[in-house]
Structure 1
Amino acid sequence: MDVAGQFAELYGYEAQGVWSAPGRVNLIGEYTDFNEGFVMPLALPHTAVAAVARRTDGVLRLHSADIDAPVAELRVDELTPLSKYGQGGWAAYPAGVVWALRDAGHAVSGGADIHLASTVPTGAGLSSSAALEVVTALALNDLYELGLDAPRLAVLAQRAENAFVGVPCGVMDQMASACATEGHALHLDCRDLSIRQVPFDLAAQGLQLLVVDTRVKHELGDGAYAERRAGCEEGARILGVSHLRDVEYAQLPAALAKLTDEKIRRYVRHIVSDDHRVEQVIGLLDAGEVRAIGPVLTEGHASLRDDLRISCEELDLVVSTANAAGAIGARMTGGGFGGSAIVLVDEVDAAPVTKSILEAFTSAGFTAPRVFPAVPSAGARRLA
């Protein structure tokens, strides 16, 4: 992607730099981030790339190579949450970052010209929106010399999505995009934002982690995500804790006995057990037992399907078909209601497992999924 050349052609002068931020896939720990729990994402090689230059007149111009639309021209001092550029549309994400930086007291009022291009599949649960936010935040941090570190940029990017766009997401996606390192999974404590880079060298173990994009599009802003978040918060209130992270796994049966609402009981069971699964996976990886995480992934899918109820026919088909074809483990990943699943396989089984999944989709009359290996990649960085 020659985003610098496209920038010059579009705006008539040279960009001051080019930045990149990746999408992510989450290995384990789903919907646990906004419960101040634990997650374990890894960055993908798929990225959003931005060519950017500062302005001095308070104008923000935004353009995407991936969208058939003219340059969006806004004024920094007129950016308003949940307005025209705060509800829907790709431009809400970079615009929201500018608003969040300014709202936090950072000097970005001069504006910017931004041209973006992305290889992160949209609607696939791979955090294409977080990649747009983080790459914008990093570019403006550099150009305006704000001096913010990667976790702080991630938090501001999350605020853009929460308050400006109106999606009540947790901080995992932005932290993964901003802070991941090549060859590692990111163990993130969503309470204090402490991170640990966990070596995740699949090739050395003769393994592959496949991403299966079902091509079923989902929108987290449609209320289903918010409803589950509200249910988790209600469960925490009933149990007398600030967040469900405070319910220990050993206490789960006693906690569930206090909940009379069946739906809230399911949500609580998923969150507490998924936090426990993150701890299980960490222990196995630290012990060098990478293959042993497979059954934990599959168990996690059952919880997402039956307790959180965010799966769909296509995702369930990926998991059941992959496991029947010899996969070590599989689960849906991301916000659900479509999107992607991950499949852990021996390298020698990657092709036959993929073939089985494609054949199962054909037999079911579903659109063929996109399948590719998830290679743990670098987080956001300046390219030029």
Structure 2
Amino acid sequence: MSLEKYHLNIKKTGFDLEFRISEILRKSGWSTINNKYYIDDVKEEVREIDIIAYKVMTTKDIRIFTTLIISCKKSEKNLWALLSKKLDEKDPNLELKPVHVWSNNKVLEFITSMSEFKNDYYENIINKKVGRALCTPKFQIFAYQEMDIDSGNPKNDTAIFTSISSLMKAQSYEINSLPKRRIGEKLNYIYQFNLISIIDSKLIRILFEEKNINTFEIDEDNYIARYIINKEEIIARVHFIKAEVFGDVLEEYNLYHLANCNFFQQKYDNFYIDATSNEDKLKLLFNEFYDLIKTSLYFELLQYGYRKALDDFVKDVKADIDWNEVSKSIIISLDIPTKFIDSLNENKKIGSIVARNLNKIYRYDGRFEFVDVYIPF
């Protein structure tokens, strides 16, 4: 019995495409996970995503992941048509610079939550010459269709829609699962996600203009997708790429990963430039700092005659931190009697512990002092 027909026919499915894309990724240094399953948020059904690929670099402070979530589709009879129109960049309903990241680190969460973060991110990364891997769309894709290659007849949008929706749902699943997978980790992590839809067929743009409709064959395009996931609207960039050019485009994703690493480490370092004089940053890290010194404070105060159970001291004593612009120093406020405050300020052991942890948490090695909390009643 001839077995050739089996491998010839399996090549007509998407499995051959998935293998070829995975091999391109592997040879370029990406780790890959194939056919990962997740639960659909709407139908509670098991879904799968074709490929998750990632590169990781550990800098001096952060472990940085650039992640590609990839859908692979193949069609011998139909091409993909992206129905497009001129992009109105002033349209308030368009978000042209979506960025999806997750981190377990307070500093990185603070950085990525800032209103200017997305613009800053795009400006910095694109300056690294990775425009194919990260760019704002040149046209607005308002619909899409599979179309018969020979006759040009429209079919439907099922395959394209499935590709987009599976990518967005998989991204949501990955981001929501990371806190559980990274719980208790001491390392600082940040993940940046990208969605890629690969089509092993022709890809065309049908451009609608005021008086004309023109068609162009293209190798790739970017689509801003909107989807409701877990009752929340998610906006993400989906990069459509023809399978035959994926290897070339991947070269820019390689550079993109390096740009991510440089960007996030630089932003992390810049955070500390004014970490003590910026009130939001100062407060952000205070609990982490105070957790490192409060037990030592208690045992020193106990020697001075401060009578309070350790649990009560840890839970009940009000503490805060501020920056004194006049004296250019850190002020640590404690709700304890003034006579004990004076003792703490004179205690060299406590001074050494506080100085070490101010440097550890805030990268600060300047002056500081304890003060009693002012209580008006």
Larger radius of gyration: 2
Q: Which has the higher contact order (CA 8 A, sep 6+)?
A: 1
- The normalised TM-score by structure 1 is 0.21
- The normalised TM-score by structure 2 is 0.21
